[in-house]
Amino acid sequence: MTITKICCIGAGYVGGPTMAVIAKKNPNIKVTIVDINQERIDAWNDADVSKLPIYEPGLAEIVEETRGKNLFFSTEIDKAIDESEMIFISVNTPTKTYGKGKGMAADLKYVELCARNIAEVATTDKIVVEKSTLPVRTAQAIKSILHNTGSNVNFEILSNPEFLAEGTAIQDLLNPDRVLIGGESESAIESLANIYGSWVSQDRILRTNVWSSELSKLTANAFLAQRISSINAISELCEHTEADVSEVARAIGMDSRIGSKFLNASIGFGGSCFQKDILNLVYIARSYGLNAVADYWEQVIILNDHQKRRFSDNLISTLYNTVSGKKIAMLGWAFKKDTNDTRESAAIYVADHLLSEQAQIAVYDPKVSEKKTQADLNYLNTRSEEENKSLMTSFEDPYEATKDAHAIAIMTEWDEFKSYDWKKIYSQMKKPAFIFDGRNILNKDAMESIGFEYSSIGK
């Protein structure tokens, strides 16, 4: 089937960038991204592309180039479903907060709602593509819903997981390591492969069965997160043995069997995928009685939580075992640089711990608003919204955020932090002035030569 119209349900971190690149590389295909969130769709349609709801380097330029030509954003979901030949499901699949599997299993209610909506609206044959991160065999549930509509519409189900790293998502889409397509119908697989084939070489487009495709996504994220937790475990050992974790990482990273990526010791991983996908993997393993497998992967999460708590505990103990009434400036709130995504950011949990010790927190992040930082903190439900607002304030200027601070905690590896006038920052802080570098981005000798008491991960 030659595809001329695509619908993507979900205008979030995956759907938006992915469809923008598909539209750019396939000018003859009409791509419509739909979402029930009117505010989000309005932001995608804003004439000022700097106000897009998602920040990714290179995204605004592609949206500006394609929007209104063959890329459209709308809340008319039924219309887009009915008109399209291929439908991507790219909705949120958060960890369940209720019932069976609470705290581990993926909540598939939004995926199921999409499938039921497609089944109700579709009047012509459709290829339905799982783009959301889903537990293995979810396609079977979607297939069951779509194939029991009582209509004569034929649905083909494909799994096409994303392997995007936030902050480099556009480059990951333009130059992917691989594109994975799982399905039963060879013609449906080739229809999607031809879309990607407009810019991706065929040797990088992998065809598998649906179940292998679904499990590959969870496994990839689990392996990447495992590397981060592994080097963070070594970072704690380094601090007790006077080894330097950056030197250890460089030494082992030069081994071609290991490689150098994801070996940067830090405060821990965050984002929407790693923790959620590992917990999902743990839940699936336990559901099959594979407890040793589940325990193994759960330890990756346990170590990551330990690293965040260890960071905040070290800050408190260094500041003479109390941060009550002390101003702590947190530079960075996004879970990593070059994104405005804060989901599972280490900053949220460190801030919560420090606020529980009655610290006063000043936040600066170049891409995250005060509204978002407060919402993240309120979601934990540790304190009242009023109390959070009185204890934590966001600033639009890093020099204002750090003024009169007792300590600075670097939570995100934004490049701009390296170019600050650190002498000026030091001059306006309380003395002694402390820096806790949770991302190991500053030079220890340079900071100490200014006068800072400097602490980093694994050194």
Instruction: List active site positions.
Output: 273
What's the 3-state SS for 326-353? CEEEEECCCCCCCCCCCCCCHHHHHHHH
Cα–Cα–Cα angle for 135, 274, 44, nearest 5°? 90
DSSP lists the bridge partners of residue 30 as: 5
Q: How many residues does the chain have?
A: 459
- Mutual angle of helices 291-318 and 274-287, in 10-degree steps: 150
CB of 236 closer than 8 Å to CB of 310: yes
Residues 6+ apart with CB under 8 A from 306: none
Cα–Cα dist 333/340, whole Å: 9
The set of residues, in sequence order, having a beta carbon less than 8 Å from that of 42 and lying 6+ positions away, is none
How deeply is 415 buried, as exposed, middle or buried, from its count of CB atoms within 10 A (0-12, 13-18, 19+)?
exposed
Between helix 210-241 and helix 274-287 the angle, nearest 10°, is 110
Residue type for position 38: Q
Cα separation, 280 vs 136, in Å, equals 10
> Could you write out the DSSP letters of every residue in 430-443?
-SS-EEEETT--S-
DSSP string for 97-117: -SSTTTTTSB--HHHHHHHHH
Cα-Cα-Cα-Cα dihedral sign, residues 89, 94, 97, 99: positive
* Cis peptide upstream of residue 366 (ω within 30 degrees of 0): no
Place of tokens 């495709």: 213
* Residue 71 in tokens: 């890329």
Q: Within 10 Å of residue 246's Cβ, how many Cβ atoms?
A: 19
Token digits for 362? 């000043």
Helix or strand holding residue 356 (H, E): helix 346-356
